[in-house]
Chain A
C-alpha cells in the first residue's frame, strides 16, 4: 500500500493491508474498547495513552458529520489503531463493515502536503467523511441491504456480486478523486482552515501547469493516466478532487457539495448522475468549467508574482529528476547527492556533476517515499553517504561508500530519518518516530545503535534538522498541535544533557520553515517558506536573527544547498518533478503574495467557518460515560453474517443456480463462505446435480471442502475447474520474510479427493484412481521492484520450490519442481526483459497420470479471475492444447520482453474506461522425459499477449487480454497455433 497523505484505502486495500500486516499479530491479543458508535481495537500497550483521545476525536467528528449529513451510523465503526509505518496515514472502508485503519505515527511535512495540526483529530475528521460518503444509505439501499443481509463485497469467484454490491453501497463505486475531494474539503474547514483547500502545494501545482500550458486532466484521464504519469502519482486524486470540490463550493456554495455527496432517498444512485441532479450540468461539463476557471485563477496569481522581478534560475540538470530528497553537496569533489524517484526509473541515489550536468546511479532505494524519497546525510571525511530504505514502513538505516558503491545495512527498523551528520564527533543525528512520538536521536560511530536525545510531547513534531559545521547548533522545524510551525535553534550540548531549550525561535505563521540548512561557515541558514503563498528561498542570519528573501519565483523553490558564497543550489518545482537550479545569494526587495482559492471561499461563503470543530477536550466529551466495554478481541466470537445472495455457476458445460453466504469478523481475519447450487439440466447425472463448497480462512490457515465443485468461470471458455467428486483439505501459510520487496512464503496444503474422474489440476487427464490423498507445498522467495507508474514488475528475482505428492492405495507419487525468474529494466521507460526457467522431476512411473507433469495452452479462460499473464506459469505452453505435453521430468526456459505500456488520456466514459495497454513478447523451449529417448519431447514456441486494463464502475479493474502463439514439435516439425481471448474480472 503506497501512502502519502491521508489516504482512503479501497475496500480491498484495507482488507489486504489487514491481512498482510497482521500475520505476526494474528494470534496476538487485540484489545477492544467499545462505545455505542465505536469498536476501537489496539494491540500495543504503548498505544494506550491515545485511546481516550481517539474516542473523543472520533465522537466529536461523528457528531459533526451526523449533523451536517443528516446521517445515522448504521453500525459501530471498527477502528484499528496501528503503528506499522513511520508516517501517519489511515484508510476507511464500509463494506462489508465500517472499518478505519489508523496509523498513529506523525505525518511527514514535505512541501506542506500534510497538515501539521493534531493528527488524530484530522484523521478522524477525514476518515469519517469516507464512512459517511460510502455508508449512508437511501431507502432503496436499505432495502437491498436487508435483502442481501448486509453490504455486499464483490467476490472474484462470484462476479454477479458486483451488481449486489452496487445496489447496497452505490457510492462505493465512485472514483478516488471524488471521495478524497470531499474528505479533504471538509477536513480543511473542520480544522479551521488547515488543509488542502488552503494548500500552497496545490496552488503551486496548478499554477505551474497553467504557466507551462500543461495538460490538465479531465475526470476520466485523471484516473487512467493522471495518477501514474508523474512523480506525484496517486496524490493527484487528492489534488484534483479537492480542487474541483473547492471550485464547485466557490461557485455554487459549500452546501452544494454536501448535497452532491450525501446519499439520500431523493438522490441518484450514481455519483455522476447525482452531480447533474444538483448542478444541472454533466460532470464532464462541470469539470471543463473548472479547468477554464482554474486557468484564469492561476494566470491572475502569476500576474501578481510578476508584479515584481522574477528571480532567474539556471538549471543544473538536463531534465527534472522527479521527487527528490534533501540534497547534499560534496565540496571536495564538486558533486551533489540526491535520492530521486520518477516514473519509469527505479528510485535511487544519484550523483550529479553540477559542471557537465551528468548523473550516475549510486544505489537503489528500497521503498522510496512519495515526496521526499529518502533521508540523506554525508560524511565527507570517509566518503560515506547515509540513507534510509523502507521509507513508507519502518525505516532502515544504510550507509554507502560513495567511491566503491558498496552499501551496508547499519540499523534495521531504525525508524529514523531526517538525518544530519555532525562532522565534529562523526555522529549521525536523526528524528525517530515510534508509538506516535517524535524523538531526536544520536547515532554514534560505528552507527550500529542509537541513543535517544530528547522525546517531544505527543503532537509536537521535529523535522528537517541540520547541524552547524562546528557541531554546536542543531536547527529544526517544530510543529505543535495547533499547526503552528517554527524554526528553532538548539545547542547540541544542551540536548545531550536532556535540556530542550531553543536558543532562537522564528514563527513562520501559517507556513512551514522547510529544509533549513547551515552555510559552510555556519553563519547562515538557508531554507524555504510559503509565506507569500509561493515557496521562495530565504536566508536567516544566526547572529542577528535577520531573515531575507532571496527569490521571487513563479512555481516554487525548495531544499537550498549553500554551495558557493555568491550562489546556491535549490530545487525548482516543475510539473514532472524537481529540477536542481542555481540561484544568486542576493536578497530581493519585493515579493508579492498570491491568492488562495480557500481564502476566496471563506470570504464568499463564511458558512465554512461554522464547520470548524470544537476541540475534542474532556469538557465536551466525557469518555467515561461513553465506554461500554473493555475486553479482548476474538475474531471467532465476532464472526457474523456479512451477506447472502443468489449466484450462478457452471458445472462442466451446464448452468447451476444457488446461494452464497459469507461471514466474517470486522477485521476480516476470519472469513467463512459457503455456496450451494443446483444444475437443473437433465444431461447432468442426478448424483452430480447438487454442488457445494465451503471455505474458511483465518490467519495462516485455510480449510476447504467441495462436493461436485462448480465454478462461475466454467460457464465461459475451455478451461474447467468444476469436478465431479468430493474433496476436503487444509492449507497452512507462513510468511518467513516480509520486508518488501523481499518476501519469502511457505505454504502447504493437504487434501483428500474422492469420487474423482479427472485430476484436480489437469482437466484433460483422467484419473486412474477415484480416491487419493494429495499433499502439496511451496516455498517461494521474491525480490521484485517497479518504478512509479509501472504496471508490472520491472526488475528482480522470483524463486519457487514446489513439491506435490499423491498418495493412492498405499503408494506415493511425488513430483518436485523449481522455478527461477530473473528480470532487469531496459532503458525504455517501464520496459523490462525477463528470463523465466523451470525444471521438475517426478519419482513415479511414466504411465501413471498422477505422477506426471502436464503442459500446454495459455491457460486463460474467456472470462476469468486468475492472473491474466498465465503464460508465465510453469504449466503453460501457449501454442499447444491444454495438458497436451506430459512427462515425468522436464526443463523449460522462457525469455520475455515486456514493452512499455501505453497510457490512455481518455478512452471511455466516467464509469467505463481503459487505463493502459501493454504488449508482451515471449518465446520458450520445453523438453520433457529427458532421461528417456523414446518418450522425450522437445517443443518451442513464440507468442505475444496484449493486455488492456479497464475500469468498470470507477473502481472495479478488469483486464482484457488477447494472445497468440505458435508452437513447434522439434521431433516431428509439426506446428500448432493458439489464439486466446480473455477478460479477467475484478483486476
Chain B
C-alpha cells in the first residue's frame, strides 16, 4: 500500500490523467495510443492502470447488483468523486503531482463489501428513525443557526480553516496596554514617541526579561490602569527597568495582586517624579530591602508609599543599618508581634516615620530594643505621641539608657497613659528630670505614682523650680517617704510648695532631715 502511494505520488500527473480518462473512456485515439505506449514501458503506470481498472470493474459490478435509477447513480457517482472528498478535506500539503485521491486496493473498506455495508447501515438507521419517531432537534432549538424552511443556503465550498491556536503571537497581551485610551493619550502627548524613538527604551522592551515580565497577566491587567500608565510616563522608568534588581523587584511585586496594585498606584507615578527616589531605586540594596517580607507587610498599608516621598526617609533608606533593620530576623519577628502589627495599622506610625528624628532613631539599635518594649509600642499608638517625636529633647531622651530602663517600668506605663504626662514631657525641665536616676527611683514608689494623679501635684510639676528640686537627691529621698507624700496631698502644703521660698527652704539639709523625720 505504501509502495503504491509512493508510486502515485511520484508519477507524472499527465500519465495519471491519461489512465483515468482511459478507464472513463474519454481519451481520444491519439491519447489512448500514447497511454498504451507508456504502459508498455512503465511498470508503475501499468500496475496503477490495472488496479484502477479492477476498481472500476468492481464498481460496475456493484452498479448492476443494486440497480439504482440512472439519475440517482449519476448523482452518487458525482458526489463520490467530488463533493465528499472536498467537504471533508483537511488542510493539505502541496502535492502538485497528485490530481486525484486514489484509494488503495487493499483497503478493507473499499469495494463491494463496503458499499453494501454502508447501504445496509443507512437503511437500518432510517428504519429506526422513522419507525420509532425519535425526538429530533427542531431548527429553532439549535442555537446559533439560521436555516429556515424555504430558504436555501447557497453551496460554497469551504475547507477546514486556520484557527486561533495556529496563530502564535509574541506578547500580544501588551497590545491591551497599547490600545488603552490612557496610553494613547501618552502617545498624543508626544512623550511616548520620544520614548519609542529612544533606542535604549526600545531595546529594554525587547529585553527577554522585560518581555517575560510583561507576560505576567496581572501586570498586563494593571497596566491598563491609568495610574500605571501615568507611571510609564516617567522617563526614569526606562532607566530603572534596565536594572536587573528592579526587574526582579517588579516581578516580585507583580506576582502579588494586592501588592502590585499598591505598588503601581498613583503614588508610584508621583514617586517616579522624585529623582531622589529613582536614584534610590537604582541601589540594589534598597530593592532587596523592599522585598523583605516584613516591609512587604507594612507596604500593604498605602500610607507607607506616601512615606517614600519623604526626603529623610529617602536619605535614611540608603543607610545600611537602616536597611539591615528590616532584614534582622528578630525584627521580622517583632513586626509580626500582635501589638506591633496593631501599631502598623495605626495611622500614627506613618506619621512617625515622616519625622526625621524618628527615622534617625529607627536606625539606632537601641530603638529596636525599645520597639521590643510593649510599653513603648503602646505609647507610640497613643494619639499624642507623634508630637513627642517632634521634640528634639524628647528624641534625645530616648537615646538615654535610663529612659529605656524607665520604659520597662510598669508604673511608668501606667502614668504614660495619662494625658498630663505628655504635656509634662513637652517641658524641657521635665525631660531633663526624666534623664535623672531620681525620677526612676520615684517611679518605683506607688505612693509617688498616686501623687502624680493629683491635679494639684501635676500643677506643681509644671513649676521649673520644683522640677529642678526633683533632681536633687535629697528631695527625691524625701519624696520616697510616704509621710511626705501624704503631706503633699494637702492643698495647703502644695500651695506652700509653689512658693520660691519653700524650694529654697527645701534645699536646706536641716529641713531635709526634719522632713525625713
Using a CB–CB distance below 8 Å, which chain A residues touch chain B? 28-29, 44-46, 48-53, 63-64, 67-68, 117-118, 121, 191-194, 198, 200, 432, 434-435, 437, 439, 441, 449-452, 455, 457-459, 480-484, 486, 505-510, 529-533, 538, 545-549, 589-596, 598-599, 602-604, 606-607, 609-618
Interface residues of B in 78-125 (CB under 8 A from A): 78, 81-83, 85-86, 89, 91-96, 98-100
Most chain A CB neighbours (cut-off 10 Å) among B143, B152, B159, B162: B162
Q: Say yes or no: B166 contacts A615, CB within 8 Å.
A: yes
Complexed CA–CA distance, A635 and B92 (Å):
40
Q: A52-B169, A481-B161 are in contact. List 17 more A-B contacts (CB 8 A).
A: A29-B199, A44-B196, A45-B202, A49-B172, A68-B94, A191-B161, A200-B154, A434-B184, A439-B179, A452-B179, A455-B176, A458-B169, A590-B150, A591-B152, A614-B92, A615-B166, A616-B167
When the two chains form their complex, are residues A192 and B91 in contact, meaning their CB atoms are under 8 A apart? yes
> Hey, which chain A residues are within 8 Å of B181, CB to CB?
441, 449-452
Q: Is the CB of A531 within 8 A of B151?
A: yes
B497 nearest CB across to chain A (Å): 73
Chain A residues within 8 Å of B206, by CB: 48
Which chain B positions have C-beta within 8 A of A508? 146
Question: Hey, which chain A residues are within 8 Å of B154, CB to CB?
Answer: 200, 510, 530-533, 593-596
In the complex, A878 Cα to B152 Cα: how many Å? 67
Smallest Cβ-Cβ distance to A601: which chain B residue: B157
CA distance A511 to B179 in the complex (A): 29
Given A29-B199, A602-B82 in contact, is the A121-B96 Cβ separation under 8 Å? no
- On chain B, the residues within 8 Å of A434 by CB distance are 178-179, 184
Task: Judge if B299 is at the interface, Cβ distance under 8 Å.
Answer: no
Contacts of A533 on B, CB cut-off 8 Å? 154, 156
* B202–chain A nearest beta-carbon distance, Å: 6
Name the one of B94, B148, B174 contacting A49, with C-beta atoms under 8 angstroms.
B174
The A/B interface has a contact count, at CB < 8 Å, of: 202
- Residue B168 interfacial (CB < 8 Å): yes
Please, how many angstroms separate the alpha-carbon atoms of A657 and B52 in the complex? 68
Q: Which residues of A lie under 8 Å from residue B24 when comparing CB positions?
A: none
Top 8 A-B residue pairs of the complex, sorted by shortest distance between their CB atoms? A192-B159, A533-B154, A615-B166, A593-B152, A482-B161, A593-B154, A617-B166, A590-B150
Kindly provide the distance from the CB of B490 to the nearest chain A CB, expressed in whole angstroms: 74
Chain B residues whose C-beta falls within 8 Å of the C-beta of A50 in the assembled complex: 169
CB distance from B375 to the nearest CB of A (A): 50
Whether A459 contacts B164 by the Cβ 8 Å rule is yes
Neighbouring A residues of B504 by C-beta, 8 Å: none
Whether A506 and B144, one on each chain, are in contact in the complex, defined by CB atoms closer than 8 angstroms, is: yes
Contact status A117-B157, CB under 8 Å? no
Q: A63, A505, A606, A617: which has the most chain B beta carbons within 10 Å?
A: A606
A481 interface neighbour in B160, B163, B171, Cβ under 8 Å: B163
Majority SS of interface residues in chain B?
loop
Whether the pair A117, B144 counts as a contact (CB closer than 8 A) is: no
CB-CB under 8 A for A458 and B91, given A45-B196, A481-B162, A546-B140? no
Residue contact A609 to B86, C-beta cutoff 8 Å? yes
Are the C-beta atoms of B100 and A606 separated by less than 8 Å? yes
Query: Which of these, B86, B153, B202, contacts A531 with CB under 8 Å?
Result: B153
Q: In the bound complex, how far is the Cα of B179 from the Cα of A457, in angstroms?
A: 11
Q: In whole angstroms, what is the CA distance A614 to B176 when docked? A: 29
CA A630 to CA B180, docked complex, whole Å: 29
Chain B 442-454 against A: per-residue CB contact (8 Å), 1 yes, 0 no?
0000000000000
A198: chain B residues within 8 A (beta carbon) = 156-158
Alpha-carbon distance A616/B168, docked complex (angstroms) = 9
Among A53, A121, A530, the most chain B Cβ lie within 10 Å of the Cβ of A53
CB of A90 to closest CB in B, whole Å: 18
Q: Select B157's contact among A29, A483, A545, A602, beta carbons within 8 Å.
A: A602
Residue interface mask B123-159, A partner, CB < 8 A = 1: 0000000000000000010011110101111111111
A–B Cβ pairs within 8 angstroms, 14 of them: A49-B174, A192-B160, A198-B157, A439-B179, A457-B164, A457-B172, A591-B150, A591-B152, A593-B152, A596-B155, A599-B155, A603-B83, A604-B82, A607-B99
- Taken together as a complex, chains A and B put the C-alpha atoms of A559 and B160 apart, in Å, by 30
B99 — which chain A residues lie within 8 A by C-beta? 607
Task: Name A598's contact: one of B151, B157, B168 (CB within 8 Å).
Answer: B157
B288 within 8 A of A: no
Specify which chain A residues have a CB less than 8 angstroms from the CB of B185 in the assembled complex.
Answer: 449
Q: Roughly how many angstroms separate A617 CA and B163 CA in the complex, as a whole number? A: 10
Q: How far is the CB of A83 from chain B (nearest CB, A)?
A: 11
Q: Which residues of A contact B167 (CB under 8 A)?
A: 53, 118, 458-459, 481, 615-617
With A434-B178, A599-B157, A603-B82 as contacts: A121 and B162 at CB distance below 8 Å:
yes
Bound together, the chains give a CA A482 to CA B172 distance in angstroms of 19
Q: How many residues of B contact A (CB 8 A)?
A: 60
Nearest Cβ distance between residue A652 and chain B, in whole angstroms?
A: 50
Report if A49-B175 is in contact (Cβ < 8 Å); known contacts: A532-B152, A590-B150: yes
Which of chain A's residues has its CB closest to B185's CB? A449
By the criterion CB–CB under 8 Å, are A593 and B172 in contact? no
- Minimum CB–CB distance from B344 to chain A (whole Å) comes to 33
- CB-CB under 8 A from B196, the residues of chain A are 44-45
B98, B155, B160, B168: the one within 8 Å of A595 (CB): B155
**Complex interface: chain A residues within 8 A of B172 (CB):** 49, 457-458
A192 to B99, CA, bound (A): 16
CB distance from B194 to the nearest CB of A (A): 12
Contact (Cβ within 8 A) A53 B169: yes
Taking CB as reference atom, which chain A residue is nearest B171?
A49
- On whether the beta carbons of B164 and A52 are closer than 8 Å, the reply is no
Hey, which chain B residues are within 8 Å of A593, CB to CB? Answer: 152-155
A589 and B179: CB pair below 8 A? no
CB distance from A553 to the nearest CB of B (A): 13
Q: Is B3 an interface residue (CB 8 A)?
A: no
Q: Which residues of B are found within 8 Å of A589, using beta-carbon distances?
A: 150
Chain A neighbourhood of B65, CB < 8 A: none
The minimal Cβ–Cβ distance linking B186 to chain A, given in whole angstroms, is 13
Listed residue (A508, A548, A607) with the most chain B CB atoms within 10 angstroms of its CB: A607
How far is B169's CA from A481's CA once the two chains are assembled, in angstroms?
Answer: 13
**Which residues of chain B in 170-228 are interfacial with respect to chain A, using CB atoms and an 8 Å cutoff?**
170-172, 174-176, 178-181, 184-185, 196-197, 199, 202, 205-206
Q: Which B residue's beta carbon lies closest to that of A442?
A: B181
A-side contacts of B153, CB under 8 Å: 509, 531-532, 593
- A46→B178 contact, CB < 8 A: yes
User: What is the distance, in angstroms, from B232's C-beta to the closest C-beta of chain A?
Assistant: 13
Contact at A592–B152, with CB atoms within 8 Å? yes
**B162: chain A residues within 8 A (beta carbon):** 117-118, 121, 481-482, 615-616
Instruction: Pick the residue among A538, A590, A598, A611 that contacts B156 (CB under 8 A).
Output: A598
CB A545 to nearest CB in B, in angstroms, measures: 8
Q: Chain A contacts of B78 at CB under 8 A?
A: 603
**Residues in chain A near residue B171, CB distance under 8 A:** 48-49
* CB <8 Å contact, B197 and A28: yes
Contact partner of B145 (CB less than 8 A), chosen from A117, A507, A591, is A507
Q: Is the CB of B96 within 8 A of A609?
A: no
Contact of A611 among B94, B163, B166, B205 (CB under 8 A): B94
CB-CB under 8 A from B81, the residues of chain A are 606
CA–CA, A200 and B155, complex, Å:
11
Q: Among residues 352 to 410 in chain B, which have CB atoms less than 8 Å away from a CB atom of chain A? A: none
User: Nearest chain A CB to B29's CB is how many angstroms away?
Assistant: 20
Residues in chain B near residue A599, CB distance under 8 A: 155-157
Q: Is the CB of B146 within 8 A of A506?
A: yes
Asked if B83 and A52 make an inter-chain contact with CB atoms under 8 angstroms apart, the answer reads no
Q: Which of A505, A507, A617 contacts B168 (CB 8 A)?
A: A617
B157 with A437: CB separation less than 8 A? no
CB pair B94–A46 under 8 Å, yes or no, is no
Answer whether A612 and B175 are a contact pair too, CB < 8 Å, given A590-B151, A593-B152, A593-B155: no
- Provide the bound-state CA to CA distance between A422 and B175, in Å: 27
Nearest Cβ on chain B to A690's Cβ, whole angstroms = 46
Smallest CB gap from B155: residue in A:
A599
Q: Is the CB of B175 within 8 A of A606?
A: no
B152 touches A67 (CB 8 A): no
Q: How far apart sit A613 and B172, CA to CA, in the bound complex (Å)?
A: 24
